[in-house]
């Protein structure tokens, strides 16, 4: 890993200060004045598990955490109960939700481009492609609803085939416009499933261990749906590693827990990278509470990755984890902070993530 993301964050931070364009030393000196958030933005979002799981092809999991997944879950359950009318209604609700989210994504992208004329062309292209794909997914889902009503879809396997793998992948991009109240409550879920996977492996319950790995992977897929650049590359690489590991565990080909831990380190490190990148973007938009929650999520990823990497790595990251979490709490809860404090927090987090990345590469 390199410090590219750290530099991006610092540029974003500098751009939001009244001293943009002046030397950083001067900006830091002027930032001693505390900044207080309005009291209206003090809602606390709690960590919680998903409501249920949607399982495709006996191997691909999707957590039920938002309106799209809730309607999908309800449609599948109604279909299993042979209530085709309700199943079709729920599928159409999925389609409507995707269309609404596509409209929201388009508006947010337009607003971001208007605010930041220097927005990378690749990011703009990705956002436009997301809108196109979400609308295409809505059409596919609507077609599946019609096929349910007409009796063309007779089994769950037929339903999964109608909602093909490509459509499911494109639907995961809805995470790009998911509200913080949707994605933040499940930020600790991957680590919980990794821990349970190791416990099940130790009990020789290999099927359960593989299922936990796949559940954890589902969150990385959602997060990859809103990632770009280096964080997306890392997440996509980890998803492939996790899919391979789950299949190997299921076939009892994994010899010990060490090879599992290595994959889990990479996955959590990728999550830390992505949340830190999103925190910088949120800060640049002056969306401070969102930036706070992204920093808190990044601290979870860093702490989890360091834990799997070993005692030395965990000890080395502990101070940064605590400081990042405290800074995230201030931003998310409307506390008092200074720009200098936030700049240092971003830099320390980036350095710790990069340092852990180097240790991972060295160990590999």
Distance between CA 199 and CA 188 in Å, rounded? 17
Cα angle 2, 119, 219; round to 5? 60
Question: d(Cα 180, Cα 221) in Å, to the nearest integer?
Answer: 17
Neighbour tally for 59: CB within 10 Å: 13
Give pLDDT tens digits for 304-333: 999 999 999 999 999 999 999 999 999 999
Confidence of residue 278 (pLDDT cuts 50, 70, 90): very high
What are the helix (H) ranges across the chain?
4-15, 24-30, 67-80, 84-115, 121-150, 156-162, 165-171, 180-183, 189-202, 206-224, 229-250, 257-284, 288-309, 311-333, 339-363
Confidence band (pLDDT; 50, 70, 90) for 157? Answer: very high
Question: pTM here?
Answer: 0.86
- What is the percentage of the chain residues whose pLDDT exceeds 90? 72
Confidence bin at 34 (pLDDT 50/70/90): low
Count other Cβ atoms within 10 Å, centred on residue 75. Answer: 27
Lowest mean pLDDT among 92-101, 123-132, 289-298, 321-330: 123-132
Record the tokens describing residue 249, joined without a space: 């565990």
Instruction: Work out the percent of the chain whose per-residue pLDDT is above 70.
Output: 85
More confident residue, 359 or 121: 359
pLDDT, residue 349, reads 97
Contacts 24+ apart (CB under 8 A), 156-160: 156/76, 156/79, 156/80, 159/76, 159/79, 160/56, 160/57
Region of poorest pLDDT, from 124-133, 135-144, 290-299 = 124-133
Among left, alpha and beta (phi > 0; psi -120 to 50; other), residue 310 is left
Q: What is the CATH number of domain 67-177?
A: 1.20.120
Mean pLDDT calculated for residue range 261-271: 97
Q: Rounded mean pLDDT of the chain? A: 87
Spell out the domain ranges in the chain.
4-47+179-363, 67-177
Whether the pLDDT of residue 288 is over 50: the answer is: yes
pLDDT of residue 50: 93
- The region, left, alpha or beta by phi > 0 then psi within -120 to 50, assigned to residue 20 is beta
């Amino acid at each position: 890993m390199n410090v590219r993301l750290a530099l991006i964050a610092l540029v974003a931070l500098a751009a939001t200060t009244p001293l943009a364009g002046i030397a950083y030393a001067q900006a830091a000196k002027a930032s001693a004045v505390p900044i207080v958030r309005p009291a209206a933005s003090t809602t606390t979002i709690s960590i919680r598990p998903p409501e249920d799981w949607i399982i495709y092809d006996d191997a691909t999991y999707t957590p039920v955490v938002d309106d799209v997944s809730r309607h999908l879950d309800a449609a599948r359950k109604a279909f299993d109960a042979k209530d085709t009318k309700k199943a079709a209604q729920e599928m159409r609700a999925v389609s409507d939700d995707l269309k609404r989210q596509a409209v929201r994504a388009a508006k947010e992208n337009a607003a971001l481009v208007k605010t930041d004329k220097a927005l990378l062309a690749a990011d703009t292209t990705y956002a436009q492609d997301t809108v196109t794909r979400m609308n295409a997914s809505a059409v596919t889902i609507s077609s599946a609803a019609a096929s349910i009503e007409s009796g063309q879809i007779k089994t769950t396997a037929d339903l999964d085939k109608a909602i093909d793998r490509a459509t499911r992948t494109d639907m995961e991009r809805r995470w790009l416009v998911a509200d913080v109240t949707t994605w933040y409550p499940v930020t600790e879920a991957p680590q919980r499933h990794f821990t349970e996977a190791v416990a099940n492996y130790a009990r020789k319950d290999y099927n359960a261990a593989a299922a936990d790995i796949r559940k954890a992977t589902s969150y990385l897929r959602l997060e990859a749906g809103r990632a770009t650049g280096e964080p997306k590359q890392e997440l996509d690489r980890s998803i492939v590693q996790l899919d391979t590991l789950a299949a190997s565990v299921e076939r009892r080909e994994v010899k010990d827990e060490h090879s599992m831990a290595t994959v889990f380190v990479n996955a959590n490190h990728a999550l830390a990278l992505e949340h830190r990148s999103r925190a910088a973007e949120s800060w640049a938009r002056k969306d401070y509470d969102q930036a706070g929650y992204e920093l808190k999520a990044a601290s979870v990823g860093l702490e989890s990755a360091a834990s799997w990497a070993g005692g030395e790595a965990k000890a080395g990251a502990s101070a940064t984890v605590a400081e990042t979490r405290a800074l995230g709490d201030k931003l998310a809860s409307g506390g008092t902070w200074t720009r200098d404090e936030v700049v240092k927090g971003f830099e320390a987090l980036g350095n710790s993530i990069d340092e852990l990345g180097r240790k991972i590469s060295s160990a590999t």
